Structure formats: structure tokens, C-alpha cells
Amino acid sequence: MTLYFDYNATAPLRDAAWNSMVELLRQPGNPSSVHRTGRQARRLIEQARETLAGHLGVDPAGVIFTSGGTEANNLALTGFSGDRVIASAVEHPSVLRGPVERHIPVDDQGVVNLAALAGMLGEDLRPCLVSVMLANNETGVRQPIADIAALCRDYSALLHSDGVQALGKGAIDMKALGIDLLSLSAHKIGGPQGVGALVLRDPDLKLAPLLVGGGQERRHRAGTENVAAIVGFAAAIEDLGDVEAEAYRLAALRDHLEQACLAALPDLVFLGGRAPRLPNTSCLAVPGLPAQTLLMALDLADIAVSAGSACSSGKLAPSGVLLAMGQDNFANAALRISLGWATMASEIDLFIERFCAIVHRLQAEHRAA
């Protein structure tokens, strides 16, 4: 039995999403066409837009469908009409490799230094976009977004937040949090890969498009929309159910996993474990055991986890997130365990048994070497 604990990389497709998409994949309607088939495709997209907007408490006109979270982040940062972009030091590479002028430092738990952000905003009054993720993709650490938004308002800056990992793991109210632009991705919640959204709290916010050509997505993104994937995204949103109850369930599973593993392996380290975290994510390290060694041993035992971000875990480079946190000793040793909508309690118990046995074996081999 394979234990799939890599939901922060991608989640299994929900039945609701699959069922909503399967017939549409055979239908030819282009939503920009004026005939009946085209109008039907357009109606489905607009219904999906309303579903996503309703989940976030915003105007549907502010929802721009994209190919995923990476494109949404790129559109937010490169489309911004101001002069400077500031981002936290622990952002996703799709943000950090964009036009970022300054990096906001974080503490040893990965939480943004608010005083440092205030200093950056106060020292240069040019129009500014601040980009801070709702929750980190590697550690699950949540950022104090409402406090960051308040600072941004004080200095007339806009706030962009990468909400890809946070979607479905608790309520997200853009207005209450003060987020101006929010990036999302469908496949993290059990929707299809290849679709996401950039959501604007103010639909009239001006952004320069990444893709030009047609007038789709209110001229924010040219190109024929992926109707089936967009509908699948909306179906996954509708299938989330009570997100607070699901967050409670996942947190209980995650806490049981951590406590049981720590009892068997007292030297285990949980990175970001003292900060508010997503309920589904645990970033851990076993001192003396490289992440790649553990990852391969777990894979042979039919356990799927990640070493850092799914966007960089195929590389041997140390985690930039952990380096920014000052956790240099664990930058090559951390594993990310992430749970999701189909994770069962019985799988957690199997993981604990297999993981602890593997670590004990590897530690014994290391001592004997």
C-alpha cells in the first residue's frame, strides 16, 4: 500500500472534479464564439468564476483564470504598474525570481519581521507591491497577513499573497485579511493540474497582461480558456465542504504523527513547529541523515513525501526557505510531509511504523559505518 503524503506538491483528483470535466473534454465550444455551443462554454466559465469569488468573498469580475499558481504570481508581480516590489525571503521561486527589489527577513520559525517590513516601506515612498504568502509550501508556516496588510495600508502599498497552499485548509476572506491580489491553484485541493487564478479584491485594479492577443479574462490574459479545467476547479471548490472542520481533522492527524514519531525518535526536529502552521504540513529533519537518503528509503517503502518544494526537490541544492530561516544545519536534511482530503487515520499509523523503522535502520547503519 502506497502512502501518499505529498499533497503540497499535488493532491489526488476529487471525484467531483473528474465528473464535472469528463464530458466537457469532448465538447468543442470556444467560450469566445457567439453561437450556442460557445455561449454554453462561456456560461460554464462564468459560473465557475462566481463559485470561486463566493468562496473568497469578492466580486466575480476580479477572478482571472490562469494556468496555475506560478502564472498567477508572475502576473501579479510583472503586471504591477508601480516602481518597486518587496517580497518575503521565504516565497515560492515564482515570486523570488520575479522583479523583487528587496527581501523581507524572517525569524528562525519563518515568520516575517514586521519591523523590517515597516522600515522598507518607510524608507522609499515609491508605489510598492508587497508579496507575502499566506502559508509556506515547505514548512506550512502561516504569515500574519492581517498585520502585514495593515502596514501596507499605512504606506499606501498593495498586498499580494500566494495563497496556493492555504486554499481549502481554512477560510480565506480577502476583504477581512486586507489582501489586494491572491494567487491560487486548483491541483493543490484536488482539482485538475494546469489551472489556477489571480484574484483581485478590486476588479478595476490595472495590471499589464503577461499574454497578449485576444480579449479573454477582461484583457488580463489572452488565449482560449481551458473550459473543462476551470469547471473542474470550481467543482473542487464546491467539494471542499466545511473547511474549518477539515482543518481540524488534518491538524489532529498531523499532531498524532508528529507526537508519535518524536516519542520514538527523540532527536527529531520540526522546522517552523513553534509558529502557526497549516494543519496538514510537517517539515522535519533527522540530525545526521540527509534528506535524499531518507527520501529514497521511504520511496522504497512505498511512502511518497518531498524534500523541500516540489519545484526544486529534484535538485540537491539546500532549501532556500530553511537558509532564510537561519536553519543552515537542516537545509539539506528536511523532509516535507503533507496530508490532504483523502488521508485516513490508518495511513498515519502505517507511516509512523514504517518511518520510525527506516530511521532506526539508517541510524544503525550510520553508526556502524
Contact 221, 209 (CB under 8 A): yes
Any catalytic annotation for residue 311? Answer: yes
| The one catalytic residue among 128, 283, 311, 356 | 311
**What are the catalytic residues?**
311
